[in-house]
């Protein structure tokens, strides 16, 4: 979790070490709450409540945003799950004004906030892993029991345009922040939260996801040997040809077999198998998530 100084520097530092932004720094306090909500979720894998051990927070202990939502589960002696599937997102969505007293807060949709509503970035993974409908706490718990974790590349909840994403890629910023994600995953591994092999897929918008997938495919980014990422061409059978060659979308024949998984009623596929988004406005596709993770 970043200190306020490090968070601010990542926003203001010139590329590739930062976003080169002078104004409109997204709220650090909201970032800290989000990161603590992620830690609440990771407690399911740890099998213990770590709130008392967390040193970075912008609130006093008595003022937690809500009670730990998974305490009852942490009392279960059946054993904690392991992280088997890591989804890589871009960043949390910026907060919209909420309706006072409304829970769930359907104006907002941060993945790990149990009081927020949901978007396609939450419902598509639930569908892909067969998580039934229910309240958000129960669905997060069910995702954890399936071994699913979402990590974002960037800590800033702000609006990302396609042109800005291209700038992040071309100036080395994306790759620089990806190093931090890799270190976070390695830390989870060192703390025995990941099994022998963990699968990796991207649910960030195509401009970011395909850039990183391409770097992995070319060997410019080397993943740890415990991570399995299908950064291979997302072929159909029979194969289809992307036009142009590195376009993020490809025409294909509906009903054909896509890398061993049947995809129905789709007219486009992503270029790399490990990428799950066709149109960033609609979020990831459940079929493509299953394809990315080789789920049956």
pLDDT digits (tens, 9 = 90+) for 71-85: 988 877 567 999 999
* Domain assignment of residue 104, given as a range: 4-233+276-293
| Whether pLDDT at 261 is above 90 | no
Distance CA 133, CA 20 (A): 42
Interacting residues of 125 by C-beta distance below 8 A, sequence separation 6+: 87, 131, 143, 148, 150, 203, 284, 286, 289
Distance CA 201, CA 292 (A): 6
Confidence of residue 24 (pLDDT cuts 50, 70, 90): very high
Confidence of residue 245 (pLDDT cuts 50, 70, 90): low
198: which strand partners? 227
> How confident is the model at residue 144, as a pLDDT?
97
Helix pair 162-170, 173-190: axis angle to 10 deg: 80
Q: Is residue 38 part of a domain?
A: yes
| Whether pLDDT at 246 is above 80 | no
pTM: 0.95
- Specify the number of domains making up the chain: 1
Q: Is residue 69 part of a domain?
A: yes
The dihedral formed by the CA atoms of 244, 219, 90 and 202, expressed in degrees to the nearest 10: 80
Q: Is residue 254 part of a domain?
A: no
The 10s digit of each residue's pLDDT in 126-183 is 999 999 999 999 999 999 999 999 999 999 999 999 999 999 999 999 999 999 999 9
Query: Edge to edge, what strands does the sheet with 236-237 contain?
Result: 236-237, 257-258, 261-262
Q: Is residue 261 part of a domain?
A: no
Task: Check if the beta carbon of residue 155 is closer than 8 Å to that of residue 179.
Answer: no
Confidence of residue 251 (pLDDT cuts 50, 70, 90): confident
Q: Is residue 253 part of a domain?
A: no
């Amino acid at each position: 979790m970043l200190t306020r100084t490090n968070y601010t520097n990542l926003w203001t530092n010139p590329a590739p070490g930062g976003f080169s932004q002078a104004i409109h720094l997204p709220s650090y306090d909201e970032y800290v709450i989000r990161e603590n909500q992620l830690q609440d979720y990771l407690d399911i894998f740890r099998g213990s409540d770590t709130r008392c051990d967390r040193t970075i927070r912008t609130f006093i202990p008595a003022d937690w945003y809500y009670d730990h939502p998974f305490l009852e589960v942490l009392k279960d002696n059946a054993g904690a799950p392991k992280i088997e599937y890591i989804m890589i997102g871009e960043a949390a969505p910026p907060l919209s004004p909420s309706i006072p007293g409304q829970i769930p807060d359907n104006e907002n949709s941060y993945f790990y906030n149990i009081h927020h509503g949901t978007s396609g970035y939450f419902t598509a993974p639930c569908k892909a892993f067969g998580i039934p409908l229910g309240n958000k706490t129960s669905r997060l718990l069910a995702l954890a029991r399936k071994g699913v974790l979402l990590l974002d590349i960037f800590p800033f909840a702000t609006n990302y345009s396609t042109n800005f994403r291209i700038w992040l890629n071309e100036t080395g910023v994306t790759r620089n922040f990806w190093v931090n994600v890799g270190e976070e995953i390695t830390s989870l591994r060192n703390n025995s939260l990941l099994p022998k092999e963990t699968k990796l897929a991207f649910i960030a918008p195509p401009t970011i996801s395909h850039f990183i997938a391409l770097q992995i495919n070319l060997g410019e980014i080397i993943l740890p040997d415990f991570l399995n990422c299908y950064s291979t061409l997302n072929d159909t059978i029979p194969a289809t040809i992307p036009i142009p060659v590195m376009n993020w979308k490809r025409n294909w024949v509906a009903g054909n077999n896509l890398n061993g998984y049947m995809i129905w009623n789709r007219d486009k596929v992503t270029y790399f198998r490990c990428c799950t988004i066709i149109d960033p406005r609609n979020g990831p596709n459940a079929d493509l998530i299953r394809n990315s993770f080789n789920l049956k």
